[in-house]
């Protein structure tokens, strides 16, 4: 009888020993397995996004080109040109923090132009006027094969 009790006690200790080695929350309300550094980084990113979206001053930039109908592109943080409209453009929203942003205005048959555009918090808007220059006509090129 005592042998059976000892065997049963040993089996129970063996079963519960595995459970005791698992990580348990140290405080009430803690969830085990949460990476605290990742959570802090996520919260910091959300605060930064909130500050940019709702607290950073913004203004409008209007692009006018001669001739009209040119494509206006913005160079984003990932290094990609993003089309934001054509000239004469509606106002493009830019930061009014003094940080310059790069824009390109292009039209087929004309040389493209790039401009840095910046605005201060006190500015009511920015107007950028661009005169595009014609490309050299293709009939003026001398194309020949070298032998």
Classified as helix, coil or strand, 47 is helix
Q: What is the pLDDT of residues 14-34, one digit of tens each?
A: 555 555 555 555 666 566 666
What pLDDT is stored for residue 138 in this prediction?
64
Q: Is the pLDDT of residue 145 over 80?
A: no
Q: What is the mean predicted confidence (pLDDT) over 55-59?
A: 77
Q: Are 62 and 125 in contact (CB under 8 A)?
A: yes
What pLDDT is stored for residue 84 in this prediction?
86
Classified as helix, coil or strand, 49 is helix
Q: What is the pLDDT of residues 82-111, one digit of tens each?
A: 888 888 877 788 777 778 888 999 999 899
**Is the pTM value of this prediction over 0.75?**
no
What pLDDT is stored for residue 35 in this prediction?
76
Query: 9: pLDDT confidence band, cut at 50, 70 and 90?
Result: low
Q: State the pairing for strand pair 126-131/58-66.
A: parallel
Q: Is the pLDDT of residue 12 over 80?
A: no
Pick the closest to residue 127 from 62, 73, 74 (CA basis): 62
Q: For the chain, report the end-to-end CA distance as a whole number of angstroms.
A: 107
Output the six-digit token pair for 137.
């006509």
For residues 37-48, one letter each, b for 16 or more C-beta atoms within 10 angstroms of the residue's C-beta and e for the rest, the string is: eeeeeeeeeeee
Which neighbouring-strand residues pair with 93? 60
Report the C-alpha gap between 139 and 53 in whole angstroms. Answer: 51
What pLDDT is stored for residue 94 in this prediction?
78
Distances from the Cα of 133 to the Cα of 35, 109, 111, 136, angstroms: 57, 9, 6, 9
Classified as helix, coil or strand, 94 is strand
Q: What is the pLDDT of residues 103-144, one digit of tens each?
A: 999 999 899 999 898 887 777 888 888 888 888 776 666 666
């Amino acid at each position: 009888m005592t042998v059976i009790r000892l065997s049963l006690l040993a089996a129970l200790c063996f079963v519960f020993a595995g459970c005791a080695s698992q990580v348990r929350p140290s405080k009430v309300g803690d969830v085990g397995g949460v990476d605290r550094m990742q959570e802090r980084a996520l919260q910091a990113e959300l605060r930064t996004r909130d500050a940019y979206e709702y607290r950073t001053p913004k203004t409008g930039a209007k692009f006018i080109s001669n001739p009209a109908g040119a494509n206006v592109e913005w160079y984003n943080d990932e290094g990609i040109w993003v089309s934001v409209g054509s000239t004469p453009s509606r106002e493009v929203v830019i930061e009014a923090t003094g940080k310059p942003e790069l824009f390109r205005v292009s039209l087929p048959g004309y040389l493209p132009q790039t401009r840095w555009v910046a605005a201060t918090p006190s500015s009511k808007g920015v107007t950028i006027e661009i005169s595009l220059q014609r490309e050299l006509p293709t009939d003026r090129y001398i194309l020949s094969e070298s032998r």
